[in-house]
Chains A and B, each alone.
Chain A
Amino acid sequence: MPLKESPLDPARALQDVVVPAGEPWLGRIAKGQFFRIVDLEGNQAVDTLFFDAEDPTERYDAALTIRGQGNVYLTTGTALRSTENRVLLTIVADTCGRHDTLGGACSRESNTVRYGQHTKDMHACRDSFLKAVAHAGLPLGKREINCNINFFMNVPVTPEGKLTFEDGVSAGGKYVEMRAERDVLCLISNCPQLNNPCNAYNPTPVRLLVWAAGAA
């Protein structure tokens, strides 16, 4: 997996926030701005959705994104495409090397299928997404929360068609950076999943940074 570093200096970022595990984050990234997600402690799943800021009903489309590049994994060079097949953002740097967009976000309902009824009351990403959009005053709801990106998650698909959540390929300090190609909204759930070995059963905080257009 080829890795690519970014020249951008965190000291010059316009925004620099830490999102604790289990919390959502909703932010706006203007066209041309750079957006970095840092996996502070390693192997944290950052469940992420993007929307066109002018018309949020146009949203990230996992199938168009992987078909557009002919590859199931996201990394440097990947164009993150919308439901209208327009590019919302481009990944411009990636020190992790591979990100998933097939595994989706955890929910309390799907947890009961994957792990059993005893997990039905555990905090989950789709609840974070719903809470965030319910408070946002945007024309978004459950219909728009479908297939997301799992930054830093390693979900390999084998040539035989097997799909598994493997130990992460990420580590503390690894990051992925995107350039917004349109004004976009970003909705993150910093995943609270406690039943999956891919994060060593230990969800951790992530850092988000935004730089001005033309910064790199």
Chain B
Amino acid sequence: MTATSIPADRALFEELIPGGGMWSRAIRRHQTLRVVDLEGGANVGLLLYNRDLLLERYNMPDTLKAQHTAFLTKGRALYSDMGRILCSIPEDTCGWHDTICGHGDAAATTARYGEKTYQQHRNELQRNAHDDFLIELGKWGLGKQDLVPNVNLFSKVTADLDGTLRFHEGASRAGSFVDLRAEMNVLVVLNTCPHPLDPSPRYAPKPVRLVLWRSDPPAADDVCRTSRPENARGFLNTERYFV
């Protein structure tokens, strides 16, 4: 399989999410969700839960310390708080996905961009990631207590030597994509609101295309499994769960 094409007989469906939009769906183990940054400069706030036991969820510290990394890219995995892998990243043409900055709320969004309500703007209203997350989580019986530090796909934020955070504009080019391969039955909750450190004074969140496709289970030489000894053990824990 090439980095860019999904065989037609493997694609299950695709869906366009406009900027500021939100989406949630359960995806089955070994299905892959491809997220495509159509125009460049998209941001996708992402959270993952074990569909079969929603109490198990993506855990930022466990993900980072298992892989000695502060960001996600090809070959890395998104760990749950139970020592298992919810999704892995077998392919990524962007190169850096932020894990440490969380998401913005209504107050921060209004402070940065001003107000844009439904009454005035109908469906061009201004949305924020916090409320988008809460709306989608609510549909699965989840709420504020389940809202944890999220991933921001397509956004690059680094820390200087003294720890100062630095947002890199234009880090994701038009057409870049990331594959999230489900290693468990996962609930995916995402939205396309701006990254909270995006300095742009204009509210202009970008759309993404989601493509769900039928992928193969990770092979023995899979890039995510072999990238670190910790990941080999994480895959083993996950495979034992399904024995």
**Residues of A bordering B, CB below 8 Å:** 57, 61-64, 66-67, 70-73, 83, 85, 98, 102-105, 107-114, 116-117, 126, 142-144, 146-147, 155, 157-165
Contact = CB atoms under 8 A, between A and B. Distances in A.
Which among B69, B70, B79, B84 has the highest number of chain A CB atoms within 10 Å?
B70
A71 B68 contact: no
Contacts of B69: 161-163
B213 interface: no
A67 B102 contact: yes
Contacts of A62: 60, 102, 149
Which among A108, A116, A143, A158 has the highest number of chain B CB atoms within 10 Å?
A143
A107 B83 CA distance: 8
Interface string B92-133: 000010001111010110000000000000000000000000
A149 B203 CA distance: 33
B98 to A, nearest CB: 10
Nearest to A144: B145
Given A104-B65, A147-B60, A113 B83 contact: yes
B204 interface: no
A146 B163 contact: no
A7 B94 CA distance: 50
Nearest to A83: B144
Contacts of B105: 85
Interface string B36-62: 000000000000000000010001111
B211 interface: no
A168 to B, nearest CB: 16
Interface string B59-99: 11110111011110000000101111000000000001000
A185 B82 CA distance: 25
A158 B144 CA distance: 32
Contacts of B66: 110, 113-114
Contacts of B159: 71-72, 157-159
B83 A109 contact: yes
Given A110-B79, A147-B148, A147-B149, A163 B62 contact: no
Given A73-B163, A112-B83, A113-B79, A105 B55 contact: no
A85 B101 contact: no
Nearest to A59: B145
A114 B59 CA distance: 14
A120 B102 CA distance: 30
A151 B35 CA distance: 37
Interface string B206-243: 00000000000000000000000010011001000000
A85 B60 CA distance: 19
Contact of A66 (B148, B150, B165, B234): B165
Given A67-B102, A71-B164, A143 B145 contact: yes
Contact of B61 (A103, A108, A116): A103
A64 B59 contact: no
Contacts of A108: 83
